Amino acid sequence: MKRRKIDREIKMAAVLEGLKGESSIADICRKYQISESLYYGWRDKFLEAGSRALASRYDSGPEAAVKARISELGADHRKADRSDRDFKKNS
């Protein structure tokens, strides 16, 4: 079965209609000829993207993950450096 490509504007329209709550999700899905599970997947992605967009740039998102990973690697490096010095001292 061939998959059809649905434009971003159609996806947003369907999700926004559902979030408004003026029509049932089943009616919206019939209107756009999609399954309810597909609608809910779009809705979840839409809400997650909105949440990321509104989050503080200092407490979440890719930048925070990178900063946390850099801190982890720095701690690992310092620990390895201490172990190396201790090994050389005791050799």
Could you read off the pLDDT of 15-60 as tens digits, one per residue? 999 999 999 999 999 999 999 999 999 999 999 888 877 776 555 5
Close Cβ partners of 32 (under 8 Å, ≥ 6 residues apart): 6, 10, 13, 14, 39
Q: How many Å apart are CA 39 and CA 17, to the nearest integer?
A: 11
Predicted TM-score of the model (pTM)? 0.59
Map out the domains of the chain as residue ranges: 1-54, 56-91
> Is the sign of the CA dihedral 32, 38, 43, 49 positive or negative?
negative
